[in-house]
């Protein structure tokens, strides 16, 4: 049986993910973030992010699995702030 507390916190986490995505999308649309992630890099980031988040939701790994939001967001947005700082560009 699912307790109301679990449902509330589940929605809260989903809202946090959606908010983070919208912030990244807004920054990219405004031209603040340049595309520097290539196709293979993008696919690996998306798969890693989804796997980490899924394992966290399933209770297999702890809260640290929410870090999967970072590779998922950078993969979906084709941009990595760390790559920008280091001058790395994996796209053509």
Mean pLDDT by 10 residues, the chain (92 residues): 44 62 60 80 95 94 92 91 86 82
pLDDT for 5 equals: 42
Quote the CA–CA distance of 23 and 17 in Å, as a whole number: 10
Parse the chain into domains and list their residue ranges. 4-86
pLDDT for 26 equals: 58
Quote the CA–CA distance of 46 and 71 in Å, as a whole number: 6
pLDDT for 3 equals: 43
Closest residue by Cα to residue 35 from 70, 76, 72, 78: 78
- Do residues 87 and 78 make contact, with C-beta atoms less than 8 angstroms apart? no
pLDDT for 16 equals: 65
Work out the angle between the directed axes of helices 4-29 and 69-77 (0-180°, nearest 10): 30
pLDDT for 48 equals: 96
Go through the chain and tell me how many residues it has. Answer: 92
pTM for this structure?
0.65
């Amino acid at each position: 049986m699912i307790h109301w507390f679990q449902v509330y916190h589940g929605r809260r986490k989903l809202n946090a993910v959606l908010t983070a995505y919208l912030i990244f999308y807004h920054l990219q649309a405004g031209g603040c973030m340049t595309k520097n992630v290539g196709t293979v890099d993008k696919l690996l980031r998306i798969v890693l992010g989804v796997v980490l988040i899924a394992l966290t939701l399933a209770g297999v790994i702890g809260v640290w699995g929410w870090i999967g939001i970072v590779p998922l967001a950078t993969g979906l947005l084709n941009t990595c702030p760390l790559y920008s700082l280091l001058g790395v560009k994996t796209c053509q």
